[in-house]
A and B are shown apart, each in its own frame.
Chain A
Amino acid sequence: MTDEPKTGRLDLRALEDGDRARGADEIIRRAILGSARMRGALADDDPRDLRRYLRPAMLAAGILVVIAVGTVRTTRYQRRTPSPITSIAGWTETHHLPSNGELWVAFQGYGQ
Chain B
Amino acid sequence: MTDSDALLVGRVRSGDSAAADALLRRHFRAAYLVAFAGVGNSADAEDVVQDAFIKCLDHIDDCENPAMFGAWLARIVRNTAHNRRDYLRVRETQPLERLDIPSRHRADEAVESRELRQTLLAALARLSDQQREVVLLHDLEGWRHAEIASELGISPGMSRRHLSDGRKKLREILGDYARLEPDHD
Binding site for B on A (CB under 8 A): 1-5, 7-17, 20-22, 24, 27-28, 30-32, 34-38, 40-42, 44-45
Contact = CB atoms under 8 A, between A and B. Distances in A.
A10 B171 CA distance: 9
A15 B50 contact: no
A28 to B, nearest CB: 5
Given A28-B24, A37-B15, A2 B161 contact: yes
B178 interface: yes
A32 B161 CA distance: 36
Contacts of B14: 41
Q: Is the interface of A mostly helix, strand, loop or mixed?
A: helix
A22 B54 CA distance: 17
Interface of B: 14-17, 20-21, 24-25, 28-29, 32, 36, 41-43, 46, 49-50, 53-54, 57-58, 60, 113, 116-117, 120-121, 124, 135-136, 138-140, 157, 160-161, 163-165, 167-168, 170-171, 178-184
Q: Is the interface of B mostly helix, strand, loop or mixed?
A: helix
A32 B50 contact: no
Given A13-B140, A32-B20, A8 B49 contact: no
9 contacts: A14-B113, A14-B116, A15-B117, A27-B28, A36-B58, A38-B15, A41-B15, A41-B17, A42-B17
A17 B23 CA distance: 24
B15 A7 contact: no
B180 A7 contact: yes
B46 A9 contact: no
A9 B138 contact: yes
Contacts of A1: 160
A7 B171 contact: yes
Contacts of A28: 21, 24-25, 28, 53
A36 B61 CA distance: 13
A38 B54 CA distance: 9
A35 B24 contact: no
A17 B181 CA distance: 20
Contacts of B180: 7-11
Contacts of B160: 1-3
Contacts of B178: 10
A22 B42 CA distance: 9
Contacts of A20: 42-43, 46
B110 to A, nearest CB: 10
Nearest to B61: A37
Given A9-B167, A34-B50, A45-B15, 8 more contacts: A4-B167, A12-B120, A24-B28, A24-B29, A31-B50, A34-B54, A40-B15, A41-B15
